[in-house]
Amino acid sequence: MEPPVRLASTGTIIHGVSVGEVLGVSTLADARLIAGESGLGRIVQRLNVMEVPDILAWVKPHELLLTTGYPLRNTPQSLGRLVADLDERGLAALAIKLGRYVDELPAEMAEQADRLGFPLILLPNDVGFDDILNQVLTDILNRQAAVLARAEEAHRALVQVVLAGGGLNEVAAEVAQLLDVAVAAVDGSGRVLATAGAAEHVAAL
């Protein structure tokens, strides 16, 4: 299966693993999604652990944030706003352990997660953060290695086309074959210079 990708607001391609796939790793077999199901396709590129109350200064987009709730133990009312703050910063999901520092999550937190499509995950108490970090990061790195290997393969193939004297039509055909997609090359005015792939798919471009 190809590594999941998502178009960022800049139009760049983001590689990683989806939140849904993260929930499929063995260390999270007993984890439970409690809200934000529509956001399971969000992409996780890195993980972070919430150890301080001002975590918002340290988070980055596409992070899965893990917490025991310890930094929020004296201010449980701040949990209601946390989901919106993390979503605004582009995080992928929040995974929390209950029972030691925070007994339960406020209803508005789950409601907000559902409204925003921000996955809220309940972690099993017998799984260490180090195990989650190791397994998920290994999965992400393996996906990144696969992406790099495929990019190198595509680069070599396209170089061979050019060295063999191929023009734009041949390059488009090679790209269509490599990616199994329809391809159209156009100039600045939108005039089509070359196409490749199934005719019905090219027509839909």
Give the distance from CA 59 to its chain's centroid.
15
Terminal CA-CA length for the chain:
24
Asked if residue 16 is part of any domain, the answer here is yes
Same-domain status, 44 and 128: yes
Mean pLDDT (whole number) for 65-71:
88
Q: To which H or E segment does residue 163 belong?
A: helix 129-163
**Cα(23)–Cα(35) distance, integer angstroms:** 13
According to the per-residue pLDDT averaged within each range, which of 70-74, 111-115, 124-128 is highest? 111-115
The band of 136, judged by pLDDT with boundaries at 50, 70 and 90, is confident
If you count DSSP H runs as helices and E runs as strands, how many of each does the chain have, helices first? 6, 11
**Cα(71)–Cα(63) distance, integer angstroms:** 18
Report pLDDT digits (tens) over 13-51: 457 889 999 999 888 989 999 999 999 999 999 999 988
Which CATH number fits the domain that encloses residue 50? 3.40.1390.20
Whether pTM exceeds 0.75: no
Report pLDDT digits (tens) over 190-202: 888 888 888 787 7
Q: In the prediction, which pLDDT does 76 show?
A: 66
Asked if residue 53 is part of any domain, the answer here is yes
Enclosing domain of residue 186 = 166-203
Same-domain status, 107 and 24: yes
Asked if residue 93 is part of any domain, the answer here is yes
